[in-house]
Amino acid sequence: MDLITNLSLGFSVAFTPINLMYAFFGCVLGTLIGVLPGIGPVATIAMLLPATYALPPVSALIMLAGIYYGSQYGGSTTAILVNLPGESSSVVTCIDGYQMARKGRAGPALAAAGLGSFFAGSVGTLIIAAFAPPLTELAFKFGPAEYFALMVLGLIGAVVLASGSLLKAVGMIVLGLLLGLIGTDVNSGVARFSFDVPELTDGIGFVVIAMGVFGYGEIISNLSQPEHEREVFTAKVSGLFPTKQDFKDMAPAVLRGTALGSALGILPGGGALLSAFAAYTLEKKIKGRPGEVPFGQGNIRGVAAPESANNAGSQTSFIPLLTLGIPPNAVMALMVGAMTIHNIQPGPQVMTSNPELFWGLIASMWIGNAMLVILNLPLIGIWIKLLTIPYRLLFPAIVLFCAIGVYSTNNNTWDIWMVAIFGVIGYVFIKLGAEPAPLLLGFILGPMMEENLRRALLLSRGDWSVFVTRPLSAGLLAAGALLLVIVLLPAVKNKREEAFVED
């Protein structure tokens, strides 16, 4: 079996002491930022990107991936104990998780989230291992027209994912695409929109945008709100293990959440947040056993399903990145950046040209998930203590790490001035209710889209119909159109707005 040989190659890479160490480090850091509200995986990964220069590429990617899925575990802890989503994908976990904590059942809730996440993470890893090779085969059939169509589909997916107005999200994508075009045009050598500033001919670094908008913008916005009254259920975490009845209730919910999360994660624009919302909605529709605690009052299924789904989704969202080189969400966009700084061009060729990296990363995800269960369940006490750190001690440290990280990308103060500008822009976005995640995705895809559009039209001698006459490309565009139509249907539109109200 190919799968077995591939996975054994992966495990042989992932089980080296240095990679185990970085996986562990990533998981710890991921849990940490997951637990702490106000800092997310996007800002953290952006901050750490420069620090990974010195590492071997496999170790760097293993660590960054660990931060992403680790944050999904940590986010649930805060959601259950403090009723604050540590991560945006844990928003729905708050609803039933916090109610369970109030009834003195914080332990089973945490266990349901942890065990569900572990199961989902393992399944997600297996799915990547099984589906990546055939998808890679398919990717080799892709021409420029298909790639362009796929990116359009991906960007439409990102719009569906964004909360709030669809039109604004489209605007943010286009703005991101435009910002991505700043710098030297590869085909003609013309420095576009660079105002004769030498630093701008290389384009704007995406680390600068990510940190400015997601780091500084968020901090400023957080500081303008009065600090939340945090009611932490520290003393009440006793009896971690769920009862037999709990297991019976949560097992099917975990299975459903995993299936739904895995499917939604693969979709462009999908990922942890969408998966969690969808899983909770599905669980509410399914009738439980008679006499079950109603939803919203501490139903264990309302914790297990979304937590499994967000973990499965965060795992399978690696599939488009690893097979097609196309990031389905903002975190994956940063992973593209991480691969590029290590001179690895993301795309279908990664699996054949860097098999150690490809399978090592996949194997490390399973190891990381196993570490996370241990980190999050028996050691829960440590994380609870962290929740008592006030924000006023936290945010200067975040500002510092952003500044240091941004300086060390190029050892140049130019980036520090740029991140200041994007910090202000990020705050403006928040004030205007424009979500920045689609912007980052557009920014990464901008140059790729232009390149593929140019090539496609060059090959077709300027005939735009090439996008609809090639079956694969037509299919992808049709899927994109279908997605748009579905979202715009009144029934779905209302549901979508409802789902994001809790955001």
Partner 1 sequence: MNIKSQKDFFCGLMFMAVGGAFAWGASTYNVGTGARMGPGYFPLMLGVLLTVIGAAITFTALVVETEGGGKIGKIAWKPLIFVISANVVFGILLAGLPAIKFPAFGMIVAIYALTFIASMAEAGWKFKTTLILATVLAVGSYIAFVLALKLQFPVWPSFITG
Instruction: Return residues touching partner 1 (CB under 8 A).
Output: 50-51, 54, 165, 167-168, 170-171, 174-175, 177-178, 181, 185, 187-188, 190, 192-193, 216, 219-221, 223-224, 392-393, 395-397, 399-400, 402-404, 407-408, 411, 413, 416-417, 419-420, 423-424, 427-428, 431-434, 449-450, 453-454, 457-458, 460-464
Instruction: Output the smallest distance, CB 468 to partner 1, in A.
Output: 15
**Choice between 112 and 453, CB closer to partner 1:** 453
**Burial (CB count within 10 angstroms: exposed 0-12, middle 13-18, buried 19+), residue 89:** buried
Closer CB to partner 1, 174 or 240, in the complex:
174
- The minimum distance between CB 216 and partner 1, in angstroms, equals 6
C-beta separation of 45 from 334 below 8 A? yes
Distance CA 394, CA 32 (A): 12
Q: Which is nearer to partner 1, 169 or 361 (CB)?
A: 169
Phi, psi of 101 (to 5 degrees): -60, -40
CB of 169 within 8 A of CB of 435? yes
Nearer to partner 1, 276 or 434 (CB): 434
Q: Judged by CB, which is closer to partner 1: 135, or 399?
A: 399
Q: Is 185 helix (H, G, I), strand (E, B) or coil?
A: coil
Is 367 within 8 Å of 13 (Cβ atoms)?
A: no
Q: Is there a contact between 322 and 285 (Cβ–Cβ < 8 Å)?
A: no
Q: CB of residue 270 vs partner 1: minimum separation in angstroms? A: 24
From CA 109, how far away is CA 79, in angstroms rounded?
10
SS3 letters across 68-97? HHHHHHHHHHHHHHHCCCCCHHHHHHHHHH
Q: Which is nearer to partner 1, 247 or 407 (CB)?
A: 407
DSSP one-letter string for 302-363: HHHHHHHHHHHHHHHTHHHHHHHS--SSHHHHHHHHHHHHTT---STHHHHH-HHHHHHHHH
Q: How far is the CB of 200 from partner 1 (least distance, A)?
A: 12
Q: Which tokens belong to 443?
A: 């920014």
If the CB atoms of residues 400 and 489 are measured against partner 1, the closer one turns out to be 400
Nearer Cβ to partner 1, position 153 or 303? 153
Based on CB atoms, which residue is closest to partner 1, 210 or 305? 210
Task: Tokens for 132, please give them.
Answer: 């990546």
Smallest separation (angstroms) from partner 1 to the CB of 381: 23
Compute the distance between CA of residue 98 and CA of residue 215 in angstroms, rounded to an integer.
27
Q: How far is the CB of 464 from partner 1 (least distance, A)?
A: 7
Residue 21: CB minimum distance to partner 1, A: 13
Residue 122 identity (one-letter amino acid): S
CA distance readout (Å), 439 to 46, 52, 208, 422, 432: 15, 24, 13, 12, 14
Nearest approach, Cβ of residue 406 and partner 1 (Å):
9
Please give the span between the terminal C-alpha atoms of the chain, in angstroms, as a whole number.
45
Cβ at position 157, least distance to partner 1 in Å: 18
* Residue 432: φ, ψ to 5°: -90, 5
Of 121, 113, 162, 163, residue with least CA distance to 306? 113
User: Of 283 and 415, which has the nearer Cβ to partner 1?
Assistant: 415
CB of residue 23 vs partner 1: minimum separation in angstroms? 18
HEC assignment per residue over 185-245: CCCCCCEECCCCCHHHHHCCCHHHHHHHHHHHHHHHHHHCCCCCCCCCCCCCCCCCCCCHH
Residue number, 286 or 404, with CB nearest to partner 1: 404
Identify the three-state secondary structure at position 128: helix
- Report the nearest approach of partner 1 to the CB of residue 411 (Å): 6
Given the complex with partner 1, which of 102 and 455 has the nearer CB atom? 455
Buried b vs exposed e over 287-323: b needs ≥16 C-beta within 10 Å?
ebeeeebebeebbbbbbbbbbbbbbbbbbbbbbbbbb
CB of 70 to partner 1, least distance (A): 19
